[in-house]
Amino acid sequence: MKVATWNVNSLSARWPRVESWLIDQHPDVVLIQETKQTDVKFPFAQLEALGYESAHYGQGQWNGVAILSRIGLSDVERGFGDADAEARIIGATTAGVRVYSCYVPNGRAIDNPHYQYKLEWLSKLHQLVERRDRARHIVVGGDFNVAPTDLDCYDPSVFVGATHVSEAERDALRALERSGLVDLTRALNPGEPCYSWWDYRNGSFRRGWGLRIDLLFVDRDLLDKASSSYVDRDARKGEKPSDHAPVVGEFTI
């Protein structure tokens, strides 16, 4: 079972690249963020032609999350079930595994109200994980907009006093781990940066100025079935790429 998470930074702008990647890489399940589409515009038919069932939670020009699957898709759940109107989380069951595609709020700045929204959002995600059915596997993936440790940041000194590296954000990720989840890519690559995002500006990709903010959290039993996890840097190259690269996990189930 091959699972990937990818912030595509507009599915409308990136569709040719996404389509090509799906054909070349044949992932079984893909968690997509920042579709920036309504459900009407989402390419359900094109994905079906490629062999994928899909579920989408859209919001037009902002946010938007989706799950694509070649191995079945059921029990779709959009949002946290509260009054939050932002399309940032979608869940579904595929081949008996509960999967979630998450687009965590950016936070903007420590003194910005959006930062508190981010922490509250992560708290709701933690509550969802705590309530899960622990008899089945779970994958919680997406763009978390948090670099879990200094290893996940090309130069921690650049981000002092900024979002993405604050202790409160990092503790929110540790809360997921205390709930029994494991950061898959870090568990399998303990000493590698594995950056997944590079700013479009200043030649950041070429210079290696990246952050690891796209994560796959899995339950401990699923970790035991994992054979690899990696960042597909090639998908960040070429013309008009997303600023994020896909993060992939492979399992023997």
Using a cut of 0.75, tell me whether the model's pTM lies above it. yes
Pick the CATH number of 2-251 from 3.30.110.70, 3.40.50.2020, 3.60.10.10, 1.10.760.10: 3.60.10.10
What do you get for the CA distance between the two ends of the chain, in Å? 7
Residue ranges of domains in the chain: 2-251
Sort strands 214-219 and 138-143 into parallel, antiparallel or unpaired: antiparallel
Per-residue pLDDT tens digits for 13-66 = 999 999 999 999 999 999 999 999 999 999 999 999 999 999 999 999 999 999
CB 102 within 8 A of CB 57: no
Max CA separation in the chain (angstroms): 47
For 203-249, the pLDDT digits (tens) are 999 999 999 999 999 999 999 999 999 999 999 999 999 999 999 99
